[in-house]
Structure 1
Amino acid sequence: MEGEGETGASAGRKARLRASIALVVFIGFAGLLYLIGRDSAYLWLKALHVIAVISWMAGLLYMPRLFIYHTDAEKGSVQAETFSVMEQRLMKVIMHPAMGLSWLLGLYLAWDGFSFMGGWLHAKIAAVVGLTVVHLYFARAVKAFQRGDYVRTARFWRLMNEIPTLLMIAIVIFVVVKPF
């Protein structure tokens, strides 16, 4: 079965290669923008930051759904193996790189545009730290599911699905409304 279809080792290597190429292009593009001038680059880097955040959020919202379905699958079954591969790839190919770029670009924008000033910015960064903690918890759960340890119930994962949503709402309010 190894190497067959979209869940085999070969498909995984191809997915990692494509993700690595995309990451290099993304970083190269960001570097090029920086070289063209600070004012022009700032808006482009902000756009790239938003793209990275959207990608990260997509993973944070989808991963608990995979955990719910994985919890319902019989341990050791083909279905459980498929969910495990999906979870690993989502984490490694999308979520880890998107989180890294979100942090990298976000910290640059906070430094360059705001000199880390403003209560709203501190609140936003605190909420992003919360998203990072959720991300790391999901990464641990991916490893547990891979070992066959179903550490939580489907109900728990349904509730966990709400945490990234609430943090995202807070972040958007902090950035757009700047309440303090």
Structure 2
Amino acid sequence: MSALLIYKALHIFFLIAWFAGIFYLPRLFVYHAETNSEDVSELFKAMERRLIYFVSPFALFTLIFGVLMIMEYGMAWFKMSYWLHAKLVLVILLYAHFGYCYTIVKQFKRDQNTRSPRFYRIFNEIPVILLIGIIFLAVLKPAIGS
């Protein structure tokens, strides 16, 4: 069994675990933005905080094993893999989205949310769109830029 296959399996595992949180957290934001109850709001604050801290290590390990795979393939392969460059742009956008989730959690924690439930419904779709692009690029490896 090669190190590359181990890295790939762990990358996929942590990606799936991370995405469970990425898909659920903005849904919590929708419900939180809809509530007028202080008790329910406090419950959502706790759920959001616990969830983001629970899935954050998965984001880190997804990144670590992705980088290890690139290193295992080598820099010559990386330079020629234009599909991977496109995929990494989407991955950077995904990490930016996840980072913004931290900002939103803090805003809700301080009762400073100014966004509507509709905003969070749309925000919830961003990782879905990014994931579709990431998967298609990773599986199809199209000849981009050649």
Same fold (TM over 0.5): yes
Structure 2 SS opposite 1:152 = coil
Quote the residue 2:20 is aligned against. 58
Gaps of 5+ in 1: 1-38
Deviation per CA, 1:144-170, whole angstroms, max 9, x where unpaired?
Answer: 000111221000000011110000000
Deviation per CA, 1:90-132, whole angstroms, max 9, x where unpaired?
Answer: 10112x1011011111011012125323001111111100000
Quote the residue 1:90 is aligned against. 51
**Could you tell me how far apart the structure 2 residues matched to 1:86 and 1:40 are?**
39
CA RMSD of aligned residues (A): 1.2
Quote the residue 1:155 is aligned against. 118
User: What stretches of structure 1 move > 4 A for 4+ residues in a row?
Assistant: none
**Could you tell me how far apart the structure 1 residues matched to 2:114 and 2:72 are?**
42
Quote the residue 2:60 is aligned against. 100
Quote the residue 1:28 is aligned against. none
How many residue pairs match? The answer is 140
Name the stretch that deviates more: 110-119 or 133-142.
110-119
TM-score by length of 1: 0.74
Gaps of 5+ in 2: none
Identity %: 38
Letter in 2 for 1:112: E
Quote the residue 2:3 is aligned against. 41
**Could you tell me how far apart the structure 1 residues matched to 2:63 and 2:121 are?**
26
Instruction: Indicate the structure whose relative CO is greater, using CA pairs within 8 Å and at least 6 residues apart.
Output: 2
**Could you tell me how far apart the structure 2 residues matched to 1:151 and 1:89 are?**
22
